[in-house]
Structure 1
């Protein structure tokens, strides 16, 4: 079992590394075929012999396909999860499409997907249609700028004023005499919804550019003088400057401590509760909430939900 666990984590790492080469385009569809080598499924400590046998039987018999549709911000996590889960269950294929949170919730609502990935909480009207909010991880929203920007710290009010159009030049914040290029996500994006709700800026942002993926925001911020944008914490790299907010860096430790104010849930929504789903989907959630699943969440730069 220890050997299998190490193999699983190694595969997760490979999945994460490959994400660095992905371009930030709008709609993406990923399907990875399971390897031929079978591995044993894990069992929960403290279970009875009958429960263990039942779980092993379920693992042996699991076969078929799981479809996930939704948030581009969840791409790294969803891809790593798919790879590891298919290693554990070789007769299962996990398909993931990354088209935005709103589209993901719509897909699970109308039954065209098993899981709708959303980088925001569900709205009351979405829950009213029978969609269950299953929080699988906590993510921070990082504020990024072009690397040459001399401003590296913003207060909450300063960030609000940049995005509502009150502050338009970096010199007003102690930086260069340079117009601020305000970058954001497209309407329907979970990252945009969470960002605007956290800052109470719903429908009030004055965007210069509205882009359709996390990768596109990163690329635009990295290449545009005077830019500012917001992205998921787990995609940060040295191509951009990462801003401190209220003198606090966006790290998992600071988010857990509650000192960094821009954070949001990663949700894997289902039509009905998890207990009502297929054996395949229930097994996927069992893995996510297991110790191995929590290690995977941490490995992609997120915070376990429980």
Structure 2
């Protein structure tokens, strides 16, 4: 009997790693995770293969792909050359706009990029300066390491150089929210707040502003007219297991890209 138990234990120990190996692990950007979770669910339904998606932030996702702790990394910001290895492959799976969003009670419907930058720098502090009520602006930003924040700072020129290093130019008084969900909650509950979130995460709890008189729509982003936009990137190592590569193939397929569009993002093919 002991021999049988020992044999079963040994078999279990041998098959456990195989079961884990069959699961595709994905981690990184909370913005990309929004659509990646849907893609993973549809992929599992059609193939029976497991995909685990974790929202850890773009910087963490890039590191995970680089050091092999995840089969696939996710980033919603551009990636620096020193963050990759020669074996790392970058695949743009979708494109997304970043919406400057306000409370639905706010009468302001359009801002210029310059006005938004000045608001985040703390140079414009009251809504009356941009056509709103005479109320202080409550500035809300994402946490450090967020791909959305990184892309927003880059596009809006919200960085400065100190002692040879780039640092944020966003006012220290800005409130910080972790993830699109928290930004939405803060803005939806404060009529004088402004935040920025993935366009695909915008819902009827708040209102996305036009920027430079251009609405944040898929068509305007695809045409290049709406300027606050960024790629959604999947990162894999060339030695990544085949099951992870098959999941990427699904994402880039006609069915996968249709799901991308259904979730409010812009397909890349």
TM-score tier by shorter-chain length is: 0.7 to 0.9
State the number of aligned residues. Answer: 240
Q: Does 1:245 align with 2:211?
A: yes
Superimposed CA distance per residue, residues 188-215 of structure 1 (whole angstroms, 9 cap, x where no aligned partner): 0000000000111121011521111110
Q: Report the CA distance between 1:130 and its aligned residue.
A: 4.1
In the other structure, the counterpart of 2:255 is 292
Deviation per CA, 1:60-119: give whole Å up to 9, x if none. xxx8100001111122211111111111211x1111110111111111212110011111
The answer to whether residue 227 in structure 2 is matched with residue 261 in structure 1 is yes
**Selected match of 1:68 from 23, 26, 48:** 26
Distance 2:207 2:248 in 1: 35
In 1: Cα distance, 2:33 partner to 2:53 partner: 8
5+ residue gaps, structure 2, are 1-20, 160-167
1:219 maps to which of 176, 181, 185: 185
3-state SS of 1:269 partner: strand
Query: Over residues 235-260 of structure 1, what are the superposed CA-to-partner deviations in whole Å (9 max), with x where a residue is unaligned?
Result: 11111121110111111111011110
Residue of structure 2 aligned with 1:177, choices 134, 148, 154 = 134
Q: How does 1:25-40 map to 2 (within 5 A)?
A: none
When normalised by structure 1's length, the TM-score is 0.76
Measured in 1, the distance between the counterparts of 2:54 and 2:34 equals 12
1:81: which partner in 2?
39
**Structure 1 position 132, deviation (Å):** 2.3
Deviation by residue 1:36-64 (Cα, 9 ceiling, x = unmatched): xxxxxxxxxxxxxxxxxxxxxxxxxxx81
Scaled by the length of structure 2, the TM-score of the pair is: 0.86
Q: List structure 1 runs of 4+ shifted beyond 2 angstroms.
A: 127-132
RMSD: 1.3
CA contact (8 A) 1:136 1:305 kept: yes
> How far 1:160 moved relative to its partner?
1.0
Classify the secondary structure of the residue corresponding to 1:221. helix
Give the structure 1 partner of residue 264 of structure 2: 301
Selected match of 2:96 from 124, 134, 139: 139
The answer on 1:122 being equivalent to 2:79 is yes
Whichever of the two has the greater Rg, that structure is 2
CA distance in 2, matches of 1:295, 1:213: 25
- Highest RCO, 1 vs 2 (Cα 8 Å, sep ≥ 6): 2
